[in-house]
Amino acid sequence: MDAANRSDFYIGLALAVSSTIFIGGSFILKKKGLLRLAKKGSTRAGQGGYAYLKEWLWWSGLILMGIGEAANFAAYAFAPATLVTPLGALSVLVSAVLSSYFLSERLNIHGKVGCLLCIFGSTVMVLHAPKEEEVASLTAMAEKLKDPGFIAFAVCIVVSSLALIFFVAPRYGQKNVLVYILICSVIGSLSVSCVKGLGIGIKELFAGKAVLKEPLFWALLICLVICISIQISYLNKALDIFNTSIVTPIYYVFFTTSVMACSAILFKEWLQMSADGAAGTVSGFLTIIIGIFLLHAFKDINFKMDSLPLFLHLGSQNRTWNQPYIALPNDERTTLIDESKLTKKRNAKSFFPESSDKKSNGTFIT
């Protein structure tokens, strides 16, 4: 990798990391602004009131989010999408850590382990992600878009999205969390490609080239607006129906996987990677997935390190390792199994308070 490519890579990496910090911090500022309004008796956002528009903390969070999104947009112009997209998980980590300090929200042991796994997975991905760019101009981008493999991929994305929107979503969207998330994810892979092309075009514009005269630049802009509108619409539907702790990790997994697949087909970044580099990138991505899952799926469980010895002690009461094996009749064996299950349920209820989420038809809803 030459000096120019190395410089672009580190610029893109710095922009991607700073984007996660800005976006993660913006959630805290907006949440603190809404909490201040609640103390004053004002109506919160989303409940029919507009008092939050007068809260300077809310506006500060909105501006900070705008800066973060701009930095993320710029990162695609310098670094490969295979690197930039997975690092978006760090915004969840930043938000969780800052919430524990500034919003007095307790981060349990599952969340702390999840944060460490996110950091570890992100580090592994940075070390093994492709460093060189295949596309450096809109002309090269146009040649990539003409590739038969990408055309076939884009047609499959559009057809599958239309089928999900018009046939599957009306029937199963309210029942299955995967329907709306799949729509957001597959459309998101195209939106990231548009962002990548626009970022390269803006980079050329600052270099003095007549990019605004290129039809491809405006075509990418129109496609980006359409894709983002669909993403936001169906992501909001998923968040309105299903629990955030379920939607967030699933959406991250499907969205990032779709983007990495699209990037591999369009930019062919993986062809220049060695076997250990590809394995490291996939391993880092899977590690981030596990971290995000632990951070969200168990956030309502009040489990701390102090309660671990007592929990293990209760679990050991039901063990029979030191007792000799005695065959029992089927009816007595069934009775003992039922009693054991009942005891475990009682112990679990005494140490793990029930979540505020309600279970309905196999899915958690708020």
pLDDT single digits (tens) 289-313:
888 888 777 776 776 666 666 666 6
DSSP state of 320: -
Across the chain, which distance is largest between two alpha carbons, in Å?
Answer: 86
Per residue in 86-114, pLDDT tens?
Answer: 887 778 778 878 877 777 777 778 888 88
Rounded to two decimals, the pTM is 0.70
Q: What is the mean pLDDT of the chain?
A: 76
Q: Name every residue whose Cβ is closer than 8 Å to that of residue 280 and which is 6 or more positions away in sequence.
A: 124, 125, 127, 128
Amino acid 306 reads D
What is the reported pLDDT for 257?
A: 87
Mean pLDDT, to the nearest integer, of 353-364?
40
Rounded Cα–Cα distance for residues 120 and 365 (Å): 31
In this model, does residue 165 exceed pLDDT 90?
yes
At 354, the pLDDT band (50, 70, 90 cuts) reads very low
In this model, does residue 356 exceed pLDDT 50?
no
Rounded Cα–Cα distance for residues 358 and 360 (Å): 6
Rounded Cα–Cα distance for residues 44 and 33 (Å): 10
- Looking at per-residue pLDDT, the higher value among 304 and 23 belongs to 23
